[in-house]
Amino acid sequence: MDVIIVGAGIGGLTTALALRAQGVPGRIRVFEAVAEIRPLGVGINVQSHASRELTRLGLREAMAAAGVETRERAYYTHHGQLIFSEPTGRFAGFEYSQFSIHRGDLLMILAAAARERLGAGNILCGHRCVEFQDDGDGVTLHFVDPEGRPLPSVRGDLVIAADGIHSAIRRQLYPEEGEPRFHGINMWRGVTRAKPFLTGASTIQVGSLHRTGKMVIYPIRNDVDDKGSQLINWNVDAVTQERGAIDWGKQGRLEDFFHLVKDWNFDWLDPASLVRNAEFIFSFPMVDRDPIDRWVFNRVALLGDAAHPMYPRGGNGGAAAILDAVAIAGLLADSDDVVSALRAYEAQRLPAANRVVLQTREASPDTIIDLVETRTNGQRFANVDDVIGRDEILAITDGYKHVVSGDIIPRGHENKLPQ
């Protein structure tokens, strides 16, 4: 079998590793548009259900060395008052850790493993896919280099399109789809060197998106200066009618959003200082696509953001791509019929991923903070239990986790996570 993967992001590289780990016979090649895989970006949370799959691929030690094993997830008002916190990963009794890690570090871990296990010659950069033809017996791909010059075409038995939200392969399959949908929210993201806060391994959300603006803050590297400082990832979300470029590398401007958080200075963290002292700032509009009912077209399959682009919240996009990768690899390993295996992959993963797209768009755990800020009219509370009950909080958080991971476990039975 000659497998071609288009895109060397989290989804594409995990797919290559999973195919090799499952013993899929033949050649596995990954074609990436950029001239060099580089450690770019900001932070990502690798939730336990995704960490489980990367651990099974032998990558846990590298992730633990590069990132931070997350201890808790917590929700705060814009006054810095705690609403709710809960343990995560192994600290919640699960077998597998949750990691907060620089996206670039995770990408380089995946790339290094792929080069070692597939052979460096099978990871080809500087190849941007522009078109394909599927003749029923195989697929021919056409590429250009970073300057737009044609490169030799490549043929394989099947193609897995992991070429992201701007996927050329999806565009050929859905030519009338148009641009991703903008939902009136913009994100500004950055990283800052600072002293640890709370547990030193906490992921926190502060403030209400629709009332005050919202921040998500978590550490992604430990001891970055030999003095115990961490690299802290942060993002500010705000409602806006102005949509910027859909480009993860677009530079952001402090003056466009700093007014939202300039007065946020708590006795346990100074969010305004984090933003003001950032090493860089990126700007990205909150976009996704409406779910589609078909990912597989004969010998071509969409995967990751090419299949189900979603809000960049909680690492759900990366996690869904990892789950796609493991599913498609296992089904190809178990079948001699490529087309049947790809159809089985679509049947298994499409409904679950589409539910996550809608869940992250419509009902995330941010609802907890929104409810408290609304019920208190943005004022401080004396006792959070007088504002929102624990059962109401758990109904929101557990319902969300059930959709995005499928690994919901009755409280008190966390050590029985399915394997």
pLDDT at 406: 55
Mean pLDDT of 362-391: 92
Confidence band for 411, pLDDT divided at 50, 70 and 90: very low
Percent of the chain with pLDDT over 90: 84
Superfamily covering domain 2-56+104-179+290-362: FAD/NAD(P)-binding domain (3.50.50.60)
pLDDT at 361: 81
Alpha carbon of 36 to those of 111, 140, 219: distances in Å? Answer: 11, 24, 27
Q: How far apart are CA 233 and CA 244, in angstroms?
A: 21
The model's pLDDT over 251-299, given as tens digits with 9 standing for 90+, comes to 999 999 999 999 999 999 999 999 999 999 999 998 999 999 999 999 9
pLDDT at 314: 76
- Calculate the CA 272 to chain-centre distance: 25
Q: Structure tokens of 220?
A: 């992604």
Q: How far apart are CA 306 and CA 10, in angstroms?
A: 12
Confidence band for 415, pLDDT divided at 50, 70 and 90: very low
Alpha carbon of 404 to those of 22, 24, 323, 353, 390: distances in Å? Answer: 25, 28, 11, 8, 21
Residue 91 dihedral angles phi and psi, to the nearest 5°: -75, -15
Percent of the chain with pLDDT over 70: 96
Global pTM reads 0.94
- Residue 417: pLDDT over 60: no
pLDDT at 405: 67
Q: How far apart are CA 3 and CA 406, in angstroms?
A: 29
pLDDT at 249: 83
Mean pLDDT of 135-158: 97
pLDDT at 47: 92
Where is 76: in which H helix or E strand? strand 72-76
The model's pLDDT over 183-241, given as tens digits with 9 standing for 90+, comes to 899 999 999 999 999 999 999 999 998 899 999 999 999 999 999 999 999 999 999 88
The model's pLDDT over 309-333, given as tens digits with 9 standing for 90+, comes to 998 877 889 999 999 999 999 999 9
Domain borders along the chain are 2-56+104-179+290-362
pLDDT at 363: 66
